[in-house]
Amino acid sequence: MKMLFAQLCKLYTFFLVAFATIAVGAPLENEIMNPNLKRANIELTLPYCPADHPVYKASLCNSITELMVYCGIGSADDPATTIISYMNCKPDEVCVEHYHAVESELDVPHATCTDTKNKWDNFDNPNAIACSGKTSYISGSKDIEIAIIIYASDGKPIQVDSLYATENDSMLYPINNNMHNYTNVLRNYNKETIQYCFHTGTYADVTAYATAWGISV
């Protein structure tokens, strides 16, 4: 509960500057050309708010199958009128946290249920760096957003020591430390090879999922 409250407070500071940038990017064409070339525009179950608190503020993954959506009344960033609404993913989806960078860079956290097949784990060697296969994305937009989320065996997000991605085998910065999620924006993306990696720093068995969104500009 403490952590939730802290997150919420952090979110409010974001809302002040980022409220206008929440709109979700226009869907791009889905195309899968070969197994290593994936679509870069996954928008499946999106967070939404109930009629009595209709204004979407932000969202996180409560678990691998459940979105936690912050919803309010009007544009005021008033904690007293903000509620948390829970939504389930569809059976073949997993929840991925990301910052949907539509207009600005990274602004408000979002969670989306996606059907990503980009899944890997560290079960073979829990203390080693664990990386996904290499993937290229097709995108109708110039820029893409990539995201990773890490889940513990109980299906809850779990922090790891480091999370990063490479593009054409070069490290992308920043590297995330002591987080359960990772987002980066790749400008002028043109089918470069992406690989996603994490290192737990513990011997916990964890599972990672990664996906990418095309960003409309």
Ligand X SMILES: *[C@@H]1O[C@H](CO)[C@@H](O)[C@H](O)[C@H]1NC(C)=O
Residues of the shown chain interacting with ligand X in the complex, contacts defined by CB under 6 A: 7, 60, 97-99, 109, 168, 179-181, 183, 192
Q: How far is the CB of 124 from ligand X (least distance, A)?
A: 26
CA gap 179, 30 in Å, rounded:
30
The residue among 130 and 150 lying less far from ligand X, judged by its C-beta, is 150
Q: Which is nearer to ligand X, 38 or 98 (CB)?
A: 98
**Nearest distance, CB of residue 198 and ligand X, angstroms:** 14
Return the number of the residue (114 or 181) whose C-beta is nearest ligand X: 181
For residue 99, the minimal CB distance to ligand X (Å) is 5
Output 157 or 214, the one with its CB closest to ligand X. 157
The pair of three-digit structure tokens given for residue 25, joined into one six-digit string: 């990017």
**CB 27, min distance to ligand X, A:** 20
Closer residue to ligand X (CB): 57 or 180: 180
Report in angstroms how near the CB of residue 181 gets to ligand X at its nearest: 4
- Which CB, 51 or 201, lies closer to ligand X? 201
**Alpha-carbon distance values, 105 to 17, 51, 94, 150 (Å):** 12, 30, 24, 22
Q: Cα(23)–Cα(7) distance, rounded to whole angstroms?
A: 21
- Write out the two tokens for 101: 């960078």
> Where does 90-216 show beta strands of DSSP type E?
94-99, 109-114, 119-121, 130-131, 136-138, 143-152, 160-167, 170-171, 176-179, 181-186, 194-199, 206-215
Q: Give Cα separations from 215 to 20, 97, 152 (angstroms).
A: 16, 15, 29
Tokens of 68: 């936690």
Give CA–CA dist 39/170, Å, rounded.
22
Q: Which residue has the tokens 């939504």?
A: 87
CB of 213 to ligand X, least distance (A): 12
8-state DSSP, 132:
P
Could you give the CA distance from residue 144 to residue 215 in angstroms, rounded to a whole number? 5
